[in-house]
Structures are given as C-alpha cells and as structure tokens.
Amino acid sequence: MKKRIFHRGYTIENTTGVTNEWKSAIKGNPISGTLTEIKKSVDWWLDMSTFIHPQKFSSQSSKPVSNGSSENYRGFIIRNDTGKHNEWYLLLRGQLLKGNATSIKQYLDKVIEKQSKAQ
C-alpha cells in the first residue's frame, strides 16, 4: 500500500508499507528514513538552507545523555553538563556565569546581599 504525505511542499512516500521506510528528495538528493527524520531534514532545508541527511538525526537521538549534574543554591540552579570541576554555569538575568561552583555561589551571595540592601 502506497502512502503519500505532503510536508511543507515536499512529497514524502512510503511504498513498502513498512512504517520506518519513507522516501523523499531534497535538492535532488534522495533521502530515506523514518517519517520524523525526513520531516526534520525538510525543515532544516527550508528554515536554514542546509541539507542534513535524515540518518544524522537518528544518530543524535541515540547518543546517551551525559552525566551532567545540577545544584539548587538559594533558588538558582547551577548546572554542569560535562562533569568537569570548572565547567559549572548559571544564567542570571540574561548573563551567563561560568566557572567552578564555589565561585558562582559566592557571586550569587553578593548579588542577593546587594539586592536585599537595596530593598
């Protein structure tokens, strides 16, 4: 049974009936994969003018999530995605603070103290 889906002006077809075997063509390049991957590839092409093969999306989603950690300090979440000592970060009022956790906590203490004095 042949199925066709139109996504943002592109025709995506499934001619075999197998749920993970969809095909289309972007910029003359034939592509195949799951429906979600092909839609992402079409979206990238239309939004960014960059051709990305659908298999790249499947390899990214199969990567394990890093053993990052986070810490809640005085209502702020300080994060470390890599696990390295000096790679903690925090977004504070649109500013990116980076460094070790101790330094970030000291800076937060100063900001909170300054804010409480202003009130």
6-58 pLDDT per residue, tens: 999 999 999 888 888 999 999 888 999 999 999 999 998 988 888 888 888 77
Lowest-confidence region among 2-6, 24-28, 115-119: 115-119
> Looking at the structure, do residues 73 and 51 belong to the same domain, yes or no?
no
What is the model's pTM? 0.50
54-101 pLDDT per residue, tens: 888 776 544 444 557 888 888 888 998 887 888 899 988 888 999 998
Sheet holding 22-26, edge to edge: 3-7, 10-14, 22-26, 29-33
> Looking at the structure, do residues 56 and 105 belong to the same domain, yes or no?
no
In this model, does residue 105 exceed pLDDT 80?
yes
> Looking at the structure, do residues 56 and 73 belong to the same domain, yes or no?
no
Specify the DSSP element, H or E, that contains 91: strand 88-92
Q: How many domains does the chain have?
A: 2
- Strands 10-14 and 3-7, how do they pair? antiparallel
Domain span including residue 103: 69-118
Alpha carbon distance 85, 65 (integer Å): 19
Q: What's the CA dihedral at 104, 106, 111, 114 to 10 degrees?
A: -170
Residue 69: strand, helix, or coil: strand
